[in-house]
Amino acid sequence: MRFGNVLNSRGSVVPIFLKQIKAGGPVTITHPNMKRFVMDIPSAAKLVLKAAAIAQGREIFILKMPVMRIIDLAEVMIEIYSPRFGYNPADIRIDTIGLRCGEKIDEVLMTPDETTSACESDEMFMILSKKLPYGEEISVSVPEGFREVSVGTYSSDDGRVLTKEEIRGILKDNPDLCLN
């Protein structure tokens, strides 16, 4: 399985941003144009369960996810959470610290090569493995509800970007995201 960024999981920026806001800032981002696929923990759990139910072996499952601009997440979190810690949102700045070695502005979860052996449903992609490690062919079937892939790649550069209002809704609908 390939996941996007699972909000509030280990490695998520949500707890980092919250800690920085609680300290009065600054909130640090690596690049203002950075975009990532995102999902909440319940969506990640549903993907695992659905994939387990249809898996035949060796497939890769990728949930179709919305895209979030990291700077939008930082700005919305500052608006929502800084008053809870006694700060004026206007007083918490956002600093750009630069990309880390190997870090990319956009995220690719399925390459053009992989789309040649992939199929999709309305909610996920499934990349089918047709060979075992030593070249032996295996037989795989496309599960009911899946069809030929309609995209040449799956990249955050091409995905639907969440609005700030939608980000506010995600934070509101998942109050445990920011209880740390």
Residue range 139-180, pLDDT digits in tens: 667 888 899 898 888 999 988 899 999 999 988 876 666 654
Question: What single-letter amino acid sits at 77?
Answer: M
Q: Which pLDDT score, from 0 to 100, does residue 180 have?
A: 46
Question: What single-letter amino acid sits at 141?
Answer: S
Closest CA to 40 of 71, 73, 84: 73
Q: Please tell me the pTM assigned to this model.
A: 0.85
**What beta strand segments (E) does the chain contain?**
5-6, 27-29, 35-39, 60-63, 67-69, 94-96, 108-110, 118-120, 124-127, 147-148, 154-155
96-to-31, 33, 113, 134, 156 alpha-carbon distances in Å: 6, 11, 34, 46, 20
57-to-25, 37, 142, 146 alpha-carbon distances in Å: 47, 25, 12, 16
Q: Which pLDDT score, from 0 to 100, does residue 163 have?
A: 97
Residues of the chain whose pLDDT is less than 70? 130-140, 174-180
